[in-house]
Amino acid sequence: MTWSLLRKEIWHHWLAFSIAAVLTISCGAVLFGVSLARGQAGTPFEGYRLFLAVFGVVLSIVVCHRLVVLEYQGRTQLFLEALPFARWRMLAIKYCLGLAITLALMALMFAVCLLVAARHDPASPRFTAIAGLRAVSYLWCAYNFFFVMGLLGRYRAAIYIALGFVVLGLQEISALEFSRFGPFALVDNRFAYEADDFPWRELRDTWYLGLACLGAATLLGLVREGSVAALLAEKMSHREKVFISALLVGLLWTVTLVAEKAKRVAFDLPDALTESSPGILVKVARPHGDAGLAAAKNLAREVAAELAQLKDYLGATELPPVFITSRQDLDPGRYERGELEHHHGLHVQLNFESPGWQVRDFMSWLSRETIVLASNARAKHESRRFVLDGFPVYWSHLHETENSSSPDSKLWLRALHGTKDGVALADLSRWLSFRERVGDPIASAVAWSALRSLARLCATNDFRRFIRATLAVGAPRDLRSVLGDGGEPWNRAMKEIAHVPLDRFYRAWQEDLAAAQRDHGPRLASIPRIQAEVRVSGSSSLSRQVFYSLSLSPVPVNSTGIVTFMHQTLPPYDDELDERDLLREKSTLSAASDRELPGGYSRHQRLCYTGAYESPELGCQIISGWKRVELR
């Protein structure tokens, strides 16, 4: 009898299962191939992790749909029930067959990984056991979940959507991190590398969850003679569809509204010096000593006043609270932002008691960070990113007069250096690429010069509306900003809000740059450009050595000659470079020739690098431009 039903299932679903298997294996092969060819992973198990997390789920959905949903939707389970065959056995056979197919495919790919790994770095038995147990537990749990969802019949799609909303909502308004929970943690980044410890806690949670799903499936399939699953499998009536749709829309709306309204607890500095005004709160940790206290009071007052003006300018009702603590070991121009997980506000550590402290530089940095936080990071969108980079500089120099001795001259020098090879309107749209080419401080100066030209062309109010539209401060944190991202692209805002045609803006900008060139040309000529080269050498068929060379042209006369090679191995998928992940190799210019990078590299890894030189004329680093290479 068991064999009869098994034969029927295979006979019924062989084509669908074969297609699913071929597609799964093909996608897995492509994933592994790309991963290995591009050198994004040092181990094939990294690719397997992605494969398991994605295709394990997809395969489970397909298999459970075919075995469970089709049977109950077609009401053919009634035919099976009339045969001399126990209902529990029917469910058990379907469950075991689906699980076996899913596990077999995943096990096949796991075996391929072991074989590939064995070619250069064989997996230890313990690693194999850990990774295998992780994979099997994750897959079993996922399969059980989709099996029970299959028995939920017509409500399963609605439940998937509702679960998605609830998970998103919980992540938004609470401290829950699903990626650290049970099955999700089993396929996290540690999957491919953990060779010592079994993740018992995550495994236990996964097993409990899987058992709960299995129990629910058993109940649904067997309780009340299986009539619950049969009733759930019936088609939805129109009235029910309308009701479920209304419920889902209501749930989505509730989740987004709750997420918006749920203010995270504000960070607090106990016993700090506080300056506040409507919508503004600045707290500076009380330093030791009277001099420090006076400087702290002064800083709090200045920052609060500046933020209040910024708030009014941006038309915001409030800006995130700012918390400042002093750190004596930091350079005066370096500001370290503290991570405030699950708290509201912006915490920064800096050395405001240092003699070289420049409050205006800090305000430029602070206003940028405040805008990013207040716009819920929407101001970082590339379509208006240049405004975000340029506006803080523009804002901090707004009230200064044009004077060659003022810091504006450095800004002009930076802007001119950044546009030495020309700048186009397209660069403003592809701003992240431009930033990588010239470096952050210089890109900010270029953006500043563009905004300055625009401000000259349009009315004050139009310019202010342009800034407000592009920076999207106070964009709603709900569905409205999911449907539209809450801000305007710079070029559309320039035409429609600032009422300045793009060609007119570009001409004015180029004229301003040309005028600045006339003023600062001689000084600009003495500022060197830096070149960075890398050479890759193979120490074996798989491992690679990387050598770098840096050069300056013209070689500066009055400088320390210290150059820096900054680099980072790239993760599988490109993202914005994070300064905190960068590695720096400092050396004198003379020593920076064919110098080997420390650390080991493997063939096909991707490396991102640039040369950097601290220019005294510009007051910032100039870079050779970030380059991405594959180590062949």
Partner 1 sequence: MIGPDIAGSPAQCEAAVPGAECAPAAGPDEVILRTCGLARTFGSVRAVDGLDLTVRSGEVYGFLGVNGAGKTTTIRMLMGIIKPEAGTIEILGQRSRRTTVRQKQSIGYVSQEQTFYPWMTCRSLGRFVGGFYPSWDNAEFERLLRVLNLPPDRRASQLSGGMRVKLALALALAPRPALLILDEPTSGLDPVARREFLDLIRMQARQHRRTTFFSSHIIGEVERVADRVGIIHQGRMLYEGSLEGLRASVRQVHVRGETPALLETGAVREPGVPPVIESHGRPGEPPPPAMVAADAPPPAGVGGFELPPGFDVLRREQTADGLLLTARAEPAAWTTFQSPHTEVRTLSVEDIFIALVASPAALI
Q: Which of residues 180-239 bind partner 1 (CB under 8 A)?
A: 225
Interface with partner 1, residue 270, by CB under 8 A? no
Interface with partner 1, residue 15, by CB under 8 A? no
Question: Is 80 or 330 the residue whose CB approaches partner 1 more closely?
Answer: 80
> What is the maximum span of the chain, computed from C-alpha positions, in angstroms?
98
**CB 226, min distance to partner 1, A:** 9
Write down the H helix ranges in 174-237. 182-186, 200-222, 227-232
Q: Which of residues 52-81 bind partner 1 (CB under 8 A)?
A: 74-76, 78-79, 81
Q: Are 622 and 527 in contact (CB under 8 A)?
A: yes
Question: Is 225 or 402 the residue whose CB approaches partner 1 more closely?
Answer: 225
Contacts of 257-265 with C-beta under 8 Å, sequence gap 24+, read 257/478, 258/169, 258/173, 259/168, 259/169, 259/172, 259/173, 259/477, 259/478, 260/476, 260/477, 260/478, 262/172, 262/173, 263/344, 264/342, 264/343, 264/344, 265/342, 265/343, 265/344
Q: Please tell me the distance from the alpha carbon of residue 409 to that of residue 27, in angstroms, as a whole number.
A: 56
Q: Are 348 and 299 in contact (CB under 8 A)?
A: no
**CB 10, min distance to partner 1, A:** 12
**CB 9, min distance to partner 1, A:** 11
Closest CA to 416 of 528, 510, 524, 554: 524
Question: Is 234 or 581 the residue whose CB approaches partner 1 more closely?
Answer: 234
**CB 86, min distance to partner 1, A:** 6
Question: Is 81 or 361 the residue whose CB approaches partner 1 more closely?
Answer: 81
Interface with partner 1, residue 1, by CB under 8 A? yes
End-to-end CA distance of the chain: 58
Other CB atoms within 10 Å distance of the CB of residue 244? 18
Interface with partner 1, residue 86, by CB under 8 A? yes
Interface with partner 1, residue 18, by CB under 8 A? no
Q: Please tell me the distance from the alpha carbon of residue 466 to that of residue 384, in angstroms, as a whole number.
A: 11
Q: Please tell me the distance from the alpha carbon of residue 231 to that of residue 239, in angstroms, as a whole number.
A: 16
Interface with partner 1, residue 82, by CB under 8 A? yes
Question: Is 71 or 488 the residue whose CB approaches partner 1 more closely?
Answer: 71
Question: Is 77 or 453 the residue whose CB approaches partner 1 more closely?
Answer: 77
Interface with partner 1, residue 7, by CB under 8 A? yes
Question: Is 4 or 526 the residue whose CB approaches partner 1 more closely?
Answer: 4
**CB 238, min distance to partner 1, A:** 24
Question: Is 93 or 366 the residue whose CB approaches partner 1 more closely?
Answer: 93
**CB 225, min distance to partner 1, A:** 5
Size of the site for partner 1 (CB under 8 A): 19
Q: Please tell me the distance from the alpha carbon of residue 400 to that of residue 413, in angstroms, as a whole number.
A: 17
Q: Please tell me the distance from the alpha carbon of residue 354 to that of residue 292, in angstroms, as a whole number.
A: 10
Question: Is 8 or 344 the residue whose CB approaches partner 1 more closely?
Answer: 8
Task: Identify the bridge partners of residue 586 per DSSP, sorted by sequence position.
Answer: 564
Among 85, 184, 207, 547, binds partner 1 (CB under 8 A): 85
Residue with tokens 């399963």: 156
**CB 228, min distance to partner 1, A:** 13
Question: Is 228 or 542 the residue whose CB approaches partner 1 more closely?
Answer: 228
Q: Please tell me the distance from the alpha carbon of residue 121 to that of residue 110, in angstroms, as a whole number.
A: 15
Considering only 2-10, 286-294, 340-348, 503-511, which stretch makes contact with partner 1 by CB under 8 A? 2-10
**CB 95, min distance to partner 1, A:** 19
Interface with partner 1, residue 504, by CB under 8 A? no
Paired tokens of 71: 């049977």
Interface with partner 1, residue 3, by CB under 8 A? yes
Which parts of this chain interact with partner 1 (CB under 8 A)?
A: 1, 3-5, 7-8, 12, 74-76, 78-79, 81-86, 225
